[in-house]
Amino acid sequence: MKIGKYSVNAFSLFLAGTIFFLPLVAAAEFSFRKPGGKGHSFVNYTWLLQQDGFWPALGASFRLAVLSGALNLILMVPTMVVLNLKAKRYKSIVDFICILPLIIPVVSLAIGAQVSMPEFLQNTEYELVFFFVIVALPYTYRALDSAISAVDIKVLVEASRSLGATWFTTIIKVIIPAIRSGIIGSLFLSFALAVGEFTLTSLLHWDTFPTWTVVAAQQNILGAIAISVFSFALAIFVLTGVGVLAARKKNQNLVLENEEVE
């Protein structure tokens, strides 16, 4: 009997969906169970919100993630653009450097990098921002590199400049929109890594949402599941929000028919 291509695809999709979603659905169901297992309620979530340190830990994680994402873009976007426009011969070296955070153990990175960190930064949680940027580097580099490789950035820049635009206008109006998918991808990855990073934070004795979760989960197993589901839902919500905002089509600046300009 011939099995159609459509059936194979549908089955593969169903299998992948089951493997991905079934544990999530099961965890969600588990998180709503009342202690003792009889019936469902929001009691585990109420418990979660009432725990000491929940909001400060969540706030710290988001603050650090936002700063990491921003720093990542500030550092990487110009670097990648310059690399592709003016210094392509150094690309293999930068490629290698950006893979290093995957090779170097996090413990070595934490200790080594902290020693070289200025003293005023060692005493603040914001030192984690720099570590998060380093940890996210291999992923953000790839996301930006693939976006830049997909467009002929050199020709776009030359076209813009020859039409009379300054470098600043060229970057804002041409380069950034052209590699927007890479920037969003890079932002997603760096944000997700920063929000979920545990090892470095724990080694350096800072409290963020992942480290707080480990401590809180030891007191209440159903509460621990609720924390996981809550974290996952929050991450999906934030990333989807950013994605929707970024993907939203801008209104056309020049509308010839109505003679209007935004």
**Using CB under 8 A as the criterion, which residues of the chain lie in contact with another protein when the complex forms?**
151-152, 155-156, 158-166, 169, 173-174, 177-178, 180, 250, 252-254, 256, 259, 261
Nearer to another protein, 42 or 167 (CB): 167
Half-sphere exposure of 260 (CA within 13 A, CB side): 5
Residue 46 CB burial class (10 angstroms; 0-12, 13-18, ≥19): exposed
CA-to-CA dists, residue 36 to 13, 33, 44, 240, angstroms = 36, 8, 12, 35
Q: Rounded to whole angstroms, how far apart are CA atoms 74 and 62?
A: 18
Give the nearest distance from C-beta 157 to another protein in angstroms: 10
Give the nearest distance from C-beta 129 to another protein in angstroms: 30
What angle, 0 to 180 degrees and rounded to 10, lies between the N-to-C axes of helices 91-103 and 127-150? 140
Nearer to another protein, 41 or 252 (CB): 252
Nearer to another protein, 1 or 254 (CB): 254
Q: What angle do CA 174, 180, 182 make, to 5 degrees?
A: 125
Give the nearest distance from C-beta 173 to another protein in angstroms: 8
Nearer to another protein, 1 or 245 (CB): 245
- Closest residue by Cα to residue 55 from 230, 245, 249: 230
Give the nearest distance from C-beta 97 to another protein in angstroms: 26
Give the other-Cβ count within 10 Å of 80's Cβ. 26
Nearer to another protein, 163 or 214 (CB): 163
Give the nearest distance from C-beta 80 to another protein in angstroms: 18
Nearer to another protein, 103 or 256 (CB): 256
Q: How is residue 40 annotated by DSSP?
A: B
Give the nearest distance from C-beta 260 to another protein in angstroms: 9
The helix/strand/coil state of 254 is: strand
Q: Rounded to whole angstroms, how far apart are CA atoms 227 and 18?
A: 22
Q: How is residue 255 annotated by DSSP?
A: E
Give the nearest distance from C-beta 159 to another protein in angstroms: 4
